[in-house]
Amino acid sequence: MCGIVGYIGDRDATPIILNGLKRLEYRGYDSAGLAVIQDGKIEIRRDAGKLAQLSTLVNDQPVCGHIGIGHTRWATHGAPSARNAHPHLGTTGKVVVVHNGIVENFLELREELADEGVAFNSDTDSEILVHLIERYIGGGNGLVEGVRLALKDIKGAHGLVVMSSDEPDKIVAARIGNAGGVVVGFGEGEMFIASDVPAILEHTRKTIFLESSQMAVLKKDGVAVQTLDGKRVESPIHSISWDPVAAEKGEYRHFMQKEIHEQVRALTDTLAGRVDFEKGQIRLPELNLTPEFSKRVEKIIITACGTAAHAGMVGKTLIERIARIPVEVDIASEFRYREPLVNENTVVLAISQSGETADTLAAMEEARHRGAVVWSIVNAIGSQAMRLADGQISMQTGPEIGVASTKAFTAPLVDLYMLAVLLGELRGTLPAEERRKLVSDLRLIPDLVGKCLNREKEVQQVARAMKDVKNMLYLGRGINMPIAYEGALKLKEISYIHAEAYPAGEMKHGPIALVDQDMPVLAIAPRDPWYEKMLSQIEQAKARGGNVLVVSTEGDERATKLADHTFWVTETPWMLSPVITVVPLQLFAYHIASYRGLDVDQPRNLAKSVTVE
Ligand code: M6R
């Protein structure tokens, strides 16, 4: 997972950057590099592999200066290699960039720049940025203006840090959307910049956090923050607590809130190294999947508990639609006791954030014992579920601390989508054109999640209005039906409000009797293939006096006319829509629990890892 560190001051930047990157090592990465301005010239050291390799390189070819930037990379575009590692240097050799995020329109921009005569030195999307900046520097424009104009050309969510040997008195940083944070640290006659607080904590506790669409210009004696339109901003100064747990929360009140916001980065990392946007293909090497086996699979059983099982329910629709393999979703605690019918052509796919859930492990063992092939999608590296599986997809979310799972829900949704596409290709059920479209859609996801997060204040207002409700009913259909289950589970577990979820079509078979003014109904109704059906369910709830909340696509007036409260989401290709529609529901549950003054991160009676039956 990409990390950024930068320094400007009187000390030698190199060891500060290397130490800062070391503090981010736990996030995982596959290459690392740094750039320092030494005697007026940008010197770069970068390599594939771990920081130890970069340190050896720096020992062999020392570099020393008072301003520098560094990066740990988790490959998205282009293999992990020295040439693809950041920092990326421009054609003039005078501008250098480190970057987190995905440039969504990278193929178009690369073509455009190539037509202008730019030669590329890497396969990355990030290199585009340095060439764009160089395009705009000159003719009176300095580095700040060059960065500002370049950012107008790119789509997606980004965090980036730039320096120029022509202006060695400053570092320019920017944040667009939520591709992870950008934090500025204040020292005495020195300044720091990083993607994450731990990278700079040994030097300072005094920080500011950039908001989306803001830029920071760091000089050794201070920082100026401005919007992308050039308007000056006064950013609040945060004093980071000395308590390591509080320090890790950074700008957020709770881990759950932090982890909801981390989804943009977690999803970017989920795509890293697995999606080839140019060829329109997916690679999942840890799965050991051959074309022969893909064709032989007769059935997939997804087994999991709680939130992970809800992810599996979305996976059922995806795999059945795209790869045309029948999928069952089995709650792990039930699977093991029902003498499941599996054989060597059955895949039992376990999903688990902790990889230590007793019921899920037992289900995996039962599946193995009965001769099935066992796969896992797991977050905790080295966990039992990872070790028990014949093939696996590791979630790339980083540790999840809040008991209520959030980023470890959306990451497996994307993993399952990628799995469906790969199986579809290998089995020949997915035409190439369609495959390219499905793969291309993935690049939109981090930014679309970021757009939902930008609406947090609106969700918070609804949460304030609803904080005292006693019951809620969540409804969804089709691919968004599991999101109703997930939204209700989030509300139950952290706010202790009774919430039930139903496939909306089931209402008329009983639950509609519950609907009155004391039973708010939350309907998930984005513009997906089940949209019209959802509208009629909303009308029925409204006709019975229900207080209706709707998750709705921006600009959809039909759904909103019926709603008392609306959670807006940006239009999303329907097969990926659950990744987006769940975000307001996570925020809603979080803010309700927060208003109720509850222990959000450690709700009563629950544990992060359920290692008992
Ligand atoms: O670690 P796992 O993903 O296997 O855990 C499964 C469930 O215990 C877990 O998802 C639980 O439902 C969460 N508290 C949901 O937020």
Per-residue pLDDT at 562 exceeds 80: yes
pLDDT of residue 373: 97
Is a pLDDT exceeding 70 seen at residue 242? Answer: no
* Dihedral of alpha carbons 342, 345, 346, 347, sign: positive
Q: Which atom of ligand 1 is nearest to the CA of 609?
A: 1
Q: Based on the fold, state whether residues 471 and 432 are members of the same structural domain.
A: no
- How many angstroms separate the alpha carbon of residue 355 from the centre of ligand 1? 10
Final residue of a structural domain among 448, 465, 488: 448
612 lies in some domain:
no
C-alpha to C-alpha distance for 392 and 111, rounded to whole angstroms = 36
The answer, yes or no, to whether residue 211 has pLDDT greater than 90, is no
- Any domain includes 609: no
Number of other CB atoms surrounding residue 230 within 10 Å: 10
Choice from 303, 310, 354 to test ligand 1 binding pocket (greatest atom count within 8 A of CB):
354
Q: Which of the given ranges, 81-90, 230-239, 381-390, 434-443, has the highest pLDDT on average? A: 434-443
Higher pLDDT, 199 or 177: 199
| Residue 412 Cα distances to 269, 405, 409, angstroms | 12, 12, 6
Instruction: Say which range, 25-29, 332-336, 386-390, has the weakest mean pLDDT.
Output: 25-29
How many domains does the chain divide into? Answer: 3
The model's confidence at residue 245, banded by pLDDT at 50, 70 and 90, is: low
pLDDT at 140 over 90: no
484 shares a domain with 430: no
Whole-number Å distance between alpha carbons of 36 and 13: 7
Compute the residue count for the chain: 613
* CA 514 to centroid of ligand 1, rounded, Å: 28
Of 247, 277, 301, the position where a domain reaches its end is 247
Asked if residues 70 and 22 have their Cβ atoms less than 8 Å apart, the reply is no
Distance 471 CA to ligand 1 centre (A): 22
- The helix, strand and coil proportions of the chain, stated in percent and rounded to the nearest 5, come to 40, 25, 35
Same domain, 223 and 364: no
Catalytic residue among 2, 258, 316, 490: 2
Q: Amino acid identity, residue 92?
A: T
Mean confidence (pLDDT) of the chain: 92
- Looking at residue 220, what is its pLDDT? 96
Give the separation between CA 375 and CA 321, rounded to whole angstroms: 20
Please check whether residues 295 and 198 belong to one and the same domain.
Answer: no
Give the integer Cα–Cα distance in Å for 272 and 200: 25
Q: Give φ, ψ of 444 to 5 degrees.
A: -80, -20
Tell me the mean pLDDT in the region 418-447: 96
Atom of ligand 1 nearest to the CA of 610: 8
Is 190 within the bounds of a domain? yes
pLDDT in tens, 52-70: 999 999 999 999 999 999 9
- The answer to whether residue 606 sits within a structural domain is no
In a domain, 281, yes or no: yes
The answer on 517 and 439 residing in a single domain is no
Residue 10 clears pLDDT 70, i.e. is over it: yes
In ligand 1, the atom with minimum distance to the C-alpha of 408 is 3
Question: Which residues form the domain of 357?
Answer: 261-448
> 406 CA to middle of ligand 1, Å?
10
Q: Is 235 in the same domain as 336?
A: no
Q: What is the pLDDT of residue 337?
A: 87
Q: What is the CA radius of gyration of the chain?
A: 25
Predicted local confidence at residue 366, as pLDDT:
94
pLDDT at 251 over 90: no
Q: Which two tokens stand for residue 69?
A: 């930037």
Identify the CATH number of the domain in which residue 241 sits.
Answer: 3.60.20.10
Q: Which protein residues are within 6 Å of ligand 1, measured from CB?
A: 305-308, 352-354, 357, 360, 403-405, 489, 493, 606, 609-610
Residues 443 and 462 in one domain: no
CATH number at 510 reads 3.40.50.10490
Residue 526 Cα, ligand 1 centroid: separation in angstroms?
26
Q: Which of 324, 319, 325 has its CA nearest to residue 298? A: 325
Catalytic, 2? Answer yes
- From the list 50, 155, 219, 608, the catalytic residue is 608
CB-based burial label for 365 (10 Å; 0-12, 13-18, 19+) = middle
In this structure, the residue with its CA closest to atom 9 of ligand 1 is: 306
Q: What is the pLDDT of residues 91-127, one digit of tens each?
A: 999 999 999 888 889 889 999 999 999 999 998 889 9
Tokens for 435? 């495959």
- For residues 490 and 474, the answer to whether their CB atoms sit within 8 Å is no
Q: Whose CA is nearest to atom 4 of ligand 1?
A: 352
Residues 144 and 51 occupy one common structural domain: yes
Domain end marker among 196, 223, 247: 247
Q: Has residue 51 got a pLDDT over 70? A: yes
Q: What percent of the chain has pLDDT over 90?
A: 74
pTM check: above 0.95: no
Residue in the block written with tokens 């939902």 = 452
* 320 and 233 in a common domain: no
Atom of ligand 1 nearest to the CA of 606: 14
Residues 328 and 421 in one domain: yes
Is 335 found in the same domain as 302?
yes
Instruction: Work out the average pLDDT over 138-155.
Output: 92
Residue 606 contacts by C-beta under 8 Å, 6 or more apart in sequence? 403, 493
| Ligand 1 centroid to residue 376 C-alpha, Å | 15
> Is the per-residue pLDDT at 531 higher than 90?
yes
The verdict on whether 608 is a catalytic residue reads yes
Sheet holding 391-394, edge to edge: 327-331, 299-304, 346-352, 373-378, 391-394
Same domain as 125, residue 16: yes
Which residue, by CA, sits nearest to atom 11 of ligand 1?
Answer: 306
For residue 409, name the pLDDT band (cuts at 50, 70, 90).
very high
Q: Binning pLDDT at 50, 70 and 90, where does residue 315 land?
A: very high
- Asked whether residue 580 is domain-assigned, the answer is yes
More confident residue, 246 or 312: 312
In a domain, 600, yes or no: no
Helix (H/G/I), strand (E/B), else coil: 377:
strand
- First-to-last C-alpha distance (Å) of the chain: 34
Atom of ligand 1 nearest to the CA of 404: 16
Q: At what angle do helices 126-136 and 143-153 cross, to 10 degrees?
A: 130
Buried b (16+ CB within 10 A) or exposed e, 411-444: bbbbbbbbbbbbbbbbbebbeeeebbebbebbbb
